[in-house]
Amino acid sequence: MGWVGYRILPTRYLTKLDVAGFTELPVQVNGRILPMESLARNSLMLISGRQMVYLPEGKQKLAAIGWLMHLTMQPELAAQYPIFRIDNAEVLSLMGVKADGRKYFSFNELKAHIPAIEEERKKIPAETALRSVFQNQLGCLYNALDIYSQLLNLLHTGTKPSELSELELEYANWLVSIQPAREALRKWVSGEKVDQEVFQGFFDLGDKYGWISNNVYFAVIPPIERQDKWGNAGFALLNVMETGKLNPVVVDYARLVTSFREGNITTFNAMIKVIQDAIGNKAQWKKLKFEVFFDQLEPFYVSTVIYLLSFILVAISWLVPSWNLQRAAYWVLIVGFVVHSFGLGSRMYLQGRPPVTNLYASAIFIGWVGVLIGLLLERLAKHGLGTAVAAILGFATLIIAHNLGLSGEDQLGVIRAVLDSNFWLSTHVIVITMGYSGMFLGGILAIIYCLGLWFNVGKSKRETLHSMVYGTTCFSILFSFVGTMLGGIWADQSWGRFWGWDPKENGALIIVLWCAIMLHAKWGKLVYERGFMLMAVFGNVVTSWSWFGTNMLGVGLHSYGFMEKGFWVLLAFIVSQVIIIVGTGFLGNFKKT
Amino acid sequence: MHKLLNAFSSIKLTVVLLMAALLLVFFGTLDQVNYGIYEVQKKYFQSLIAFWSYPTEWPGGNFLKHLIIPLLSGGLLGALLLLNLICAHFKYFVLSWKKIGIALIHVGIVVLLVGGYLIGYFQEEFQMWLPEGKRVNFAKNIRKNELVIIDKTDPNYDTVWSIPENLLKKDKVISLPALGIEVLMDDYYENAVIVRRIDYPQGGIAKATQGSGSKVDLVVFPKAKTYKSNEDSEAAAYVTLKHRGEVLGTWLVSEDERFPPQRLDAGNHQYEIALRPERQYFLFYLELIDFKYEKYPGSEIPKSFSSEVRILNEQAKTDRNVLIYMNHPLRYEGYTFYQANFGPEETSSMLQVVKNSVWFVPYVGVWLTGVGLVVHFCVQLYVYVRRKKEKLNHAF
Amino acid sequence: MMQFFISGLVTAVLLFCGSCKKGDKVTSYQIPKEELKINVVQSEASRLMQQSVGRSLEAEAETNTIVAPNWVAPVGWAVLPSDALKKGNFQVKDREGRSVEITVIGFQGNVGGELANINRWRQQVGLGPVDADFMKSLATTEVDGRTAKLIDIEGSAQKSIYGAILERDGQSWFFKMMGDAALVKKEKENFLKFLESVKFTK
């Protein structure tokens, strides 16, 4: 419990710097306002594949927010941190580096090769299916560099360390020079002789601000009037030409930056308060604080570990029954479930949406439902089977979720227009996801059954498993069918077509068909206990095809793009299931029971 | 005969047919990558039999490309499943309240299957582009083309003669006796690129003696039909017209929207000839007043699309404005209009138009099956609880 | 037995319905008078011809009515062959091998507007786009008595554009000098002189 508690502490930093205040500062990204903490973690996830920076000297670890602070306010320092993850040997060779096991590189090491990277990037074909592995990896590196360069100008318009120390002066000069530049322009257009120097400087700054305005998509400056769109410093400074006013937050951030560089803690802390006041009610501070808390707790990581622990306890309880560990395993599972539920609930609160809105969220929900059903099964059967299955499913789905989250995308992001219906999101999507859960639960129980056959487990245990799987199959066909029908109704209401033969729709149909085949084969006495369980294992294959395989085809309304690494993992999983089926099927010395 | 009935009502057949359905859906889905959803629907789900071949792009493609799997397609499979279901019910039907849930479920599934056929036959889908400020009274069927000869002589109305795409085959002759015109199809290309001869001196087919094809000196390069979702196949054709036996000339017609209307005179009438997606005309006009595209602030992610549309129906004396947006279509005169797309600079909006007189059938099917599932679950629960009680009673 | 035949009949009817084809006959109907022009609406297909700036085919045949103005090319500008698109084409090369190309292109209509074209040029020298606000600060110059926007873009990797966009009588004329940044700077005066010499005949 202490370990969980440690993660709840808001500031694990031993300085007097108001880092907590900084973590809560709002940024508008892709239509959503999120705290700096989330921005730091998501960005670092995209660049590094993890939420920490490991500094080479003394193996020190730097939290994501610490990295962001250095990147935005002391870039010359941040450029030394090895954060860019590169696995592909070809990409490394592009930069003249041999693949000697090192995976993380600093910006300073990559700087000189940026033109080469840009050249190669131009050759990448638009269609994802036509890209080579090298091109995919290069594309990822390019995106990482792009995010990096955008974040450099998150809080200010400085492009060189020297400019960062003089930000307020630069802004003041700009403001002062607008009028004279306008005058000079007017004179020049009407043919009078004019001192070019006057507006060369003006145009240079204007160009710089224009570039930042158009290329930095993270916005920290709130709108002045009653609008929704936030801007960056470049945009705000250019806007002065039209409105005549400069949003004071721009200057506040400049002062924040300089105080950080000078190590002036008091001013830094004071400026945080000033910025918070200046932004005022344009941001929902309670939600921002909560999101920071949620980020730092990392509830899904915590529950992953707890589920693993629970499974280990159950496994030991089967091997050494005298230690009576099943109850402990059950209660550890419940703790994990509580943390998992808290994470799920927090997501719903922060996004204001039903729990499943994208693939990542579906993984989290499948695990949650699975654990819930597993807990119920444990109460009914009490062999430790329910606990085991719940722990396995919870652990596996959260690992899958973590891998889906490696893209660094904002997993709490807004929902596109075509999906924007809370009613259908909470009915069709939830019901179908529950169907997936049921299938996986049945599949895992069936795998345990197969292992039971191999290890000569007793008949009553096998019968228990059999009736459990029969139960989950009935559950799955019900939910999958109802969920699919709800999807059809949604489609009919939205674009007039009840059934469009979309790959994802087809995948759901295949799940329903497979469940129907299983049940009819059992009722028609075409299969008995072992046959039925083997079919349930195949249910894992069918469900993972429907959940992931259909997304990888890149066709139709549900396509989310080809997830390269995911393809091989999926293939490996399917092969593993087939091996279990074939292997157990041919276990000759067992009669058909 | 009894043997046949037994065979058709057996549960073993059900399992076999369900397996066949699963394989059909799976292989059809794989083929969607190459042919797109619409073509696969025709090939796999609406036909009687289909053949899936191992794609050459897959590992071992060159060797395995001869692997062809025949599959029972939707048309045949659906019929067989229905047959099996109905036969089984007639054979095993026992009026028992325990089985009523299952009966309802199966009836519901029958309705869904039948509904699938009916919708496939009756449903029509069109696209309607509305440029801002203009009145439009027709929608286009993007899956079917038509060759039209429009009689423009009358000052008040046009008479459209539409020749459906099924008749537009090479060397086919279509007579329009009312006009005294005979249409000879010299060539019909499902997809083609049309360019000017001066840009491409070599190659291409040039047969036009009248109209834009001849005036601008155009040539046709036929292409393979495209199945990509973001590309359109543009059909073209060379058409020779004869009026009362006399050859008027050969025109190049094309789906390409930049083709200006081609006029011709024959027998005191003025006609216009064109090849275009089949049009469905309405007795009313729709006018796009305003299209709004709202994005989330600071992003390009679409938040909502909406079209404010004015309905003008002279006959019914209707003149009112409506708002069409995501999940809120307009239902009018037997057609349903959904917000589907929009044009550049947000100055035009596209509505998906659906005419489906049997739209309610899947809803009935879903309702029946849903009720059946609930009933069956309740029955099972009751039986289970009762059995447990009995067990407890017996134990004492 | 009866049941078997009934069910068989039902399925046969459905099969027939499913596979029978509609639309095998010529149909005719009357519609209210339609405008001369078929609705020209942008569709998403990419086409070969789109490269010639997508106008109606007959209008393309009228490209020859876009008559190039007269001008006086400065000394040192090598004349390159013109084509249907480039009415004027010149090149300047210096001893260090740096080069710039000057083109004169005319179109019917406004071809997307000034902002779009300036952003197109910016992209050509590796810069990001600007928005309409920034446009207000652009300089102007005179070409044959009409005002043209003067564009000076210093791009990335030593490439620059110096040019003018003129809208005149429903036509858009693009005078563009693009190439090595240093050489562009040197030739600016020549370019302005070239612009001064442009005289339209129509």
Q: What is the pLDDT of residues C181-191, one digit of tens each?
A: 888 888 898 89
User: Cα C67–C68–C72 angle (5° rounding)?
Assistant: 155
List the single best residue of C118, C137, C141 to mutate versus A (max A Cβ within 10 A). C137
- Residues of chain B contacting residue A416, judged by C-beta atoms under 8 Å apart: 301-303
Same domain as B230, residue B310: no
C4 band by pLDDT with thresholds 50, 70 and 90: low
Nearest residue, CB atoms, C56 vs list B82, B230, B260: B260
Subunits with 3+ C-beta pairs closer than 8 A to C? A, B
Alpha-carbon gap: B197 to the closest alpha carbon of chain A (Å)? 31
Judge whether residue A558 has pLDDT over 60.
no
A127 — contact with chain C (CB < 8 Å)? no
B259 in the same domain as B189: yes
Q: pLDDT at residue A73 above 70?
A: yes
Whole-number percent of chain A with pLDDT over 70: 92
Closest CB to C26: pick one of B91, B162, B261.
B162
Mean pLDDT of B122-148: 90
Q: Flag if C133 and A215 touch (Cβ within 8 Å).
A: no
Of B26, B303, B370, the CB nearest to A510: B26
Kindly tell me if the per-residue pLDDT of B239 is higher than 70: yes
Most confident of A444-448, B96-100, C72-76, C149-153: A444-448
One-letter-per-residue 3-state SS of B94-125? CCCHHHHHHHHHHHHHHHHHHHHHHHHHHCEE
Across chain B, how many H-helices and E-strands are there? 7, 18
C65 vs B contacts (CB less than 8 Å): none
d(CA A357, CA A347): 10
pLDDT at B82 over 50: yes
Give the minimum alpha-carbon distance from B293 to chain A in angstroms, rounded to a whole number: 10
**What is residue C81's predicted lDDT score, i.e. its pLDDT?**
72
Measured between beta carbons, which residues in chain A are less than 8 angstroms from residue B35? Answer: none
What integer pLDDT is reported at residue A511 of this predicted model? 96
Chain B residues whose CB is inside 8 A of the A521 CB are: 15
Answer whether residue A147 shows pLDDT above 90: yes
**Would the CB atoms of A485 and B45 count as touching at under 8 Å?**
no
Q: Is the pLDDT of residue A12 over 70?
A: no
Q: What is the pTM of this model?
A: 0.79
Q: What is the pLDDT of residue A10?
A: 40
The predicted pLDDT at position A502 comes to 86
Q: What is the pLDDT of residues C14-25, one digit of tens each?
A: 666 555 555 678
CB of C68 less than 8 A from some CB of A: no
Contact C49 B194 (CB under 8 A): yes
Closest CA to B243 of B210, B219, B277: B210
What integer pLDDT is reported at residue C7 of this predicted model?
61
Tell me the nearest-neighbour CA distance from A118 into chain C, angstroms.
Answer: 11
Mean pLDDT of chain A: 86
B216 → closest Cβ in C8, C37, C61? C61
Q: What is the mean pLDDT of residues C71-88?
A: 77
Mean pLDDT of A551-577: 70
Decide which of C55 and B38 is more confident.
B38
B/C interface, count of CB pairs below 8 Å: 153
Return the top range by mean pLDDT from A51-65, A525-539, C51-65.
A525-539
Which pLDDT belongs to residue C84?
56
A488 touches chain B (CB under 8 A): yes
Residue A126 touches partner C, C-beta closer than 8 Å: no
CA distance C130 to chain A (A): 6
Judged by a CB distance cut-off of 8 A, whether residue A228 touches chain B is yes
Inform me whether the C-beta atom of residue C129 falls under 8 Å from chain A C-beta atoms.
yes
The residue of B44, B234, B258 whose CB has the most chain C CBs within 10 angstroms, and thus the best one to mutate to test that interface, is B258
Output the pLDDT for position B277.
92
Q: Is residue C57 predicted with pLDDT exceeding 50?
A: no
Name every chain A residue with its beta carbon within 8 A of the beta carbon of B377.
Answer: 478
Alpha carbons C54 and C58: distance in angstroms, whole number: 11
C-alpha to C-alpha distance for A105 and A85, rounded to whole angstroms = 6
Q: What is the pLDDT of residue A3?
A: 52
- Per domain, the residue ranges of chain A are 86-152, 161-287, 298-415, 422-559
Between positions 140 and 169 of A, the ones with CB within 8 A of B are none
* pLDDT > 50? residue B347: yes
- The pLDDT tens digits of the residues spanning A109-118 come to 888 888 888 8
CB within 8 Å: C128 and A214: yes
Looking at residue B1, what is its pLDDT? 67
The reply to whether B52 falls in a domain is yes
Q: What is the mean pLDDT of residues C27-47?
A: 57
* Average of per-residue pLDDT across C129-144: 78
Closest in B195, B218, B258 to C48, CB measured: B195
pLDDT, tens only, A326-375: 889 999 999 999 999 999 999 999 999 999 988 899 999 999 999 999 99
**B160 and B263 inside one domain:** yes
Together in a domain, B22 and B149: no
Which of A414, A500, A553 is the closest to B296 by Cβ? A414
Same domain, B143 and B221: yes
**What percent of chain B shows pLDDT beyond 90?**
24
- Which of the two residues, B233 and A4, has the higher pLDDT score? B233
| Residue span of the structural domain in which B13 resides | 2-122+367-395
Distance CA B260, CA B256 (A): 9
Instruction: Mention every residue, 6+ apart, whose C-beta is less than 8 A from residue A242.
Output: C133
Q: How many domains does chain B have?
A: 3
**Shared-domain flag, residues B179 and B106:** no
Q: Does residue B219 share a domain with residue B248? A: yes
Q: Tell me: pLDDT of A423 over 70.
A: yes
Closest CA to C18 of B164, B360, B76: B76
Q: What's the confidence (pLDDT) of residue A430?
A: 94
Do A346 and A338 touch, CB atoms closer than 8 A? Answer: no
Q: Taking CA atoms, what residue in B is nearest to C58?
A: B216
Which residues in chain A have Cβ-Cβ distances shorter than 8 Å to C129? 214
Residues of C in contact with A213 (CB under 8 A): 131
A335 interface with B at CB cutoff 8 Å: no
pLDDT at A367: 96
Residue C78, both tokens = 């090598």
**A86-108 tens-digit pLDDT:** 888 888 888 877 767 788 999 99
Task: Tell me, yes or no, whether B275 and B152 share the same domain.
Answer: yes
The chain A residue lying nearest C139, using CA atoms, is A189
Judge whether B13 lies within some domain: yes
Give the E-state strand segments of chain C in sequence order. Answer: 27-32, 78-79, 86-93, 99-108, 139-143, 146-154, 159-168, 171-180
Decide if A211 and C128 are in contact by the 8 Å CB cutoff: yes
Q: Is the pLDDT of residue B108 over 50?
A: yes
Query: Contact A238/C127, CB-based, under 8 Å?
Result: no
Q: B49 and B23, same structural domain?
A: yes
User: Is the domain of B54 the same as that of B171?
Assistant: no
Q: Is C193 in contact with C74 (CB distance < 8 Å)?
A: yes
Residues of C whose CB is below 8 A from A122: none
Placement of tokens 């909560």 in the chain: A290
The per-residue pLDDT for range A374-402, each reduced to its tens digit, is 999 888 877 888 999 999 999 999 999 99
B247 and B226 share a domain?
Answer: yes
Residue spans per domain, chain C: 94-178
Considering B226, B248, B281, which residue would you say is the last residue of a domain? B281
Residues of A in contact with B37 (CB under 8 A): 500-502, 555-556
Mean pLDDT (chain B, rounded): 85
pLDDT band (50, 70, 90) for residue A204: confident
CA angle B45–B48–B52, rounded 5-degree value: 65
> Which pLDDT score is estimated for B61?
65
Kindly state whether residue B361 falls inside one of the protein's structural domains: no
Q: Which residues in chain A are contacts of B119 at CB distance < 8 A?
A: 498-499
The alpha-carbon gap from B336 to the nearest alpha carbon of chain A, in Å, equals 7
Within 13 Å, how many C-alpha atoms sit on residue A47's CB side?
28
Count of CB contacts below 8 A, A vs B? 145
Q: What is the pLDDT of residue C46?
A: 28
Contact with chain B for residue A503, Cβ under 8 A: yes
Q: Please work out, in degrees rounded to the nearest 5, the angle formed at the alpha carbon of residue A557 by the alpha carbons of A556 and A561.
A: 75
Is residue B169 one of the residues assigned to a domain?
Answer: yes
Compute CA distances B219 → A34, A451, B127, C58, C78, whole Å: 57, 70, 30, 14, 36
Span of A192-196, A290-294, C8-12 with lowest mean pLDDT: C8-12
Beta bridge partners of B253: B237
**Does some domain include residue B336?**
yes
pLDDT given at position C60: 40
Contacts of C128 in chain A (CB under 8 A): 211, 214-215
Task: Sort B387 into a burial class: Cβ within 10 Å, 0-12 / 13-18 / 19+.
Answer: exposed
Interchain proximity B340–A478, CB inside 8 Å: no
Between CA C144 and CA B186 the distance in angstroms is 52
Section A201-207 average pLDDT: 81
Indicate the pLDDT class of residue A311, thresholds 50, 70 and 90: very high
